[in-house]
Amino acid sequence: MRPVKFPSISAAWQFDPSSSAQSGWRSISPEQKPLNDGAFTRHVAERLFFTRADLELSLEKAFFEPVEGLIPRDRARYMVAISAIVKFLQANGTPHHLTLELQELELALMELDEGRTRPMLKAASKKRGRPPDSGDIWQARAMASIALQILVEARVDKGEALDRIDQHFGFLGDILLSSHVGTFRGALGKWHQDFVARFGCEARAQDFFDHRAHLISAVCAGINTNDPELVAVDIMRAASLTALRAADADAIDRINKRLSKLTVRKTKSTH
């Protein structure tokens, strides 16, 4: 077994006439460790495997374990998740000054419940024309607009396509109309128009709409068909799940019940 060759480390200090300190150079050679220490390597690998498994289990519980009164993406869930990540990093030798910064974020989230907001969590000043709704809501709007675009490109009249989507998914208006007035059907028509024109939409949602081919391809592979109506329905289901992230507990319950009863039959095209 060949030992690892570590380079010598040189430390220098200067003579200070006002003190008794010495000056000079000294060479420090670290203790050599074997290059192929199988037992040590296995120990490190096993520890990493088990601590990572613990982390994944902790994150699964933090984000998805049903807790009465605790909705998806509740702040408390993220606090628990941060604590789990810190524990994992500490168990694998991450320096304290790095994990401390994550703990500061956890404390900042806790302080929000006490009515205090640290600068890191303060919202930026609203810019003129900036969409006021959350990224989850905008992504769901983009997905609904993609579903509509699929039907329009399949030569379904836009008004008819809006009717079909509204018939089965109009209940999403409870969440997605958060800062709009009118009906889900009317709002969807406007969102779609704005996404196509690339006007006034949240930047990440706009990018998602512009690169919709990736989503469509994944959905077609997942449901094993490229039928436009079936693909549009599947994307609307995904939009519903995305919208749930921004919903309160009552809205989540209502939408889950609607989705569980949802049955969509293919409409015979007249085109």
CB neighbourhood size of 99 (10 A): 16
Q: Report pLDDT for 181.
A: 65
- Quick: pLDDT tens for 73-104: 788 999 999 999 999 999 888 999 999 999 99
**Spatial separation of the C-alpha atoms in residues 72 and 249, rounded to whole Å:** 8
pLDDT tens column, 150-191: 999 999 999 999 999 999 999 888 888 865 568 999 999 999
> How much of the chain, in percent, has pLDDT values that exceed 90?
47
What is the model's pLDDT at position 2? 46
CA distances, 218 to each of 58, 169, 212, 222, 224 (Å): 29, 21, 10, 6, 10
The reported pLDDT for the residue numbered 164 is 95
Nearest CA to 258 out of 240, 271, 242, 270 is that of: 240
- For residue 11, the SS3 value is strand
Question: Nearest CA to 234 among 167, 169, 174, 156?
Answer: 169
Give helix 249-260 / helix 228-244 axis angle, nearest 10°. Answer: 160
The neighbour count for residue 134, using CB atoms within 10 Å, is 14
For residues 143 and 242, what is the distance between their CA atoms, to the nearest angstrom?
A: 9
Q: Alpha-carbon distance 178 to 26, whole Å?
A: 69
Residue 145, judged by CB atoms within 10 A of its CB (0-12, 13-18, 19+), counts as buried
Buried b (16+ CB within 10 A) or exposed e, 212-250: beebbeebeeeeeeeebbbbbbbbbbbbbebbbbbbeee
226: pLDDT confidence band, cut at 50, 70 and 90? Answer: very high
232 pLDDT above the threshold of 90: yes
pTM tops 0.75, yes or no? no
Buried b (16+ CB within 10 A) or exposed e, 58-84: bbeebeeeeeeeebeeeeebebbbbeb
Instruction: Give 121-161 pLDDT, tens digit per residue.
Output: 887 776 655 557 888 899 999 999 999 999 999 999 999 99
